[in-house]
Every structure is written in structure tokens, then in C-alpha cells.
Structure 1
Amino acid sequence: MNIIKSNIANLPTKHGKFRIKAYKDDNQEHLAIMSEDFENIEIPYVRVHSECLTGDAIGSLKCDCQNQLNLSLDFIGKMGGLVIYHRQEGRNIGLLNKINAYALQDQGRNTIEANIELGFKEDERDYRIVKYIFDDLNIKKVKLITNNPNKIEYIKSIGVDIVERIPAITKANKYNEDYLNTKKDQMGHML
């Protein structure tokens, strides 16, 4: 992995004032979105948020991604910590394939069945950049904001101590209820 990183810049948002740093590995660019007091926090709250253009930017109701991102930014803006914006769209199948998966979901497949029918695993994400960011920012212990057991296991596997898990639970709606049930029942998400 050949990684290029940016300088740190200020980013005022509706969620609070943050500082950001970008990381580029091969063709993907990721963000570390840090609270202003990040360097002074012994054990930061951390959210590894996987990119979801349709949810995060457009406000799709088919998922809970934008709600989880907003919840995490609001929380970290107040409590201090870091959001890693992990740019691996559609569990790393890319935007085009994600839209094809949406079309299959419109025909009755769940999120896992759609990915598999398109020739992918249920989750293609690679978290190696997360380790690089943790190392770069000298993170050894976290209070992790997640529902995803795979993220928990990965972070433990790189030697980072998870001292607390904070659920990222948001309200379901009629468009994402089946999606959330699939994540809970088939992927082990703690919802």
C-alpha cells in the first residue's frame, strides 16, 4: 500500500468545528475528521464510517448511513474524537455495482443476495487504511461507535484496545427496515 497524506486543515460544519486530514491509498481517498481537541484526548471516541454516496450525500432512505454519520459527527463534535470516512462505496463494490445491487433489491433480493448475484462477497471492504490512520494519529485505545462486529474484530486484530462500544442506532423507516433486519440477522450487526 503506497499512501500519500495531506496536511491538517480546519473544517467548520453544522456538527461542530473539526480538523481534517486526507489519506490516499492507490485510487481511494479517505478522511480523518477530528474534533478540535483531538490531540488532547487520551481515549477518543471513534467511528469508522463506510462511504455511502446515496445515503450520505443524497439522503437515501434505503439505508441508515446518513443518520449514522450525522449521529457520529454530532456526538464527536460534542464529546471529542474522530470519524474515519472510509471511502469504499457499497461495501467496496463501487457506485455502479451498488446501483445494480439496488436494482436487484427492487426485485426482491436482500443486500447480501444482490451482492452475491453480482459476483461479490457480501462485504468486500478492506480496512488496512484504518490501521495506517490509527498509527499515523497514534491511536492505541478507542471508544468505538459501531454496530458492526467485523469492524470490532478488525480493530482488535491490529492491536487497538476497544475500551467501550457505543451503539450507532438510528430510527428505522419503511424503506430500510428489511435492510436493517438483514444486517442484524445475517451479518450479526448489533441493532
Structure 2
Amino acid sequence: MNLPNKLTILRVCMIPFFVAVLLCQGGENQTLRIVADVIFIVASLTDLLDGKIARKYHLVTNFGKFMDPLADKLLVCSALICLIELGQIPAWVVIIIISREFIISGFRLVASDNGVVIAASYWGKFKTVFQMTAVILLILNLEPLKLVADIVLWIAVALTVISLADYIYKNHKVLTEGSM
């Protein structure tokens, strides 16, 4: 197993620790929130690192192609669900974000069956940056940053919808014609 794949597995293994620390004591302990934020940030950075290493050293594998995006979705969705539990974001926001991930994953699965690879778009990359930034700010839960966290979250939701529309527009033939 190569280093990028080990980093992906590490990211998945960090998720239960992140969730446990964030939800410990009902999310009321600010020190534990900071620890949870550090875990989330480190896990997020492994995503950047594993991708750069895999591309630079030609270590791209089928396992990595499958697990890397799955690990990202598990990390972000776990954080968002915890934030619902802590009463910091409404469930409908998370439903929009998770629904988009399911729809895009479905598109990619159908495309893959037809030998087509659907690459991440810039909208999708911006969406990820804003989602992760929103999660980091929301986990911190600091009063002076609440407005900033809310604005970043709203931008993340908007980019989630925009990136979904972009994927559907660019790749609708995958579903309607079976190939592109």
C-alpha cells in the first residue's frame, strides 16, 4: 500500500476520534472543540497531501480513486451531522449538502460504467473549500466569528447547489444517452 492510500485510510480512521471529541460533554467544552477542530484540520490536510503525492509520484491507484473522495465525504458529512446534533446548523442545510454528494456519486458511478471519468470541477473544489472552512469555524463556535461562520456556510450551500447544477448540465448525457 502506497503513502497516499495510507493517508486516506488515516483520514477515515480519524473520523471516529473527531466525532467523539466534538460530541463529548455535549460540545460544551471549548478545549475539546479546539481538539476536534485540530483533528478535522489535520484530516482535511491529509486530503491535500495524498492527492499531491499521488499525482507527483504517479501513485494513483483504483483504491485511491474510490476511497479518497469517499473519505472526504465521510469526514465532512460526519462533521455536519455532529453540528446538527449540537444545534449549530439546520438539518435542511445538511440534507442539501449530502444529497448533492449522493447525486454526484451516482453520476460518477454511471459514467464509470460507461468508461467515462467525471473530474472534479472548479465549482466542486470551491464548494469543498467553503464547506471545510465553514465546518472549522462552526466547530470553534466563537461568538466573534459567528457571523463569519454563517456567511461562509451560506456560501458553501450556494456553491453546493451551483456545483450540482454545473455537474448535471455538463454531464446529463451520462444519464440520458448512456455515454458522453
TM-score (norm: length of structure 1): 0.28
Q: Highest relative contact order (Cα 8 Å, sep 6+), 1 or 2?
A: 2
More strand by share: 1
More helix by share: 2
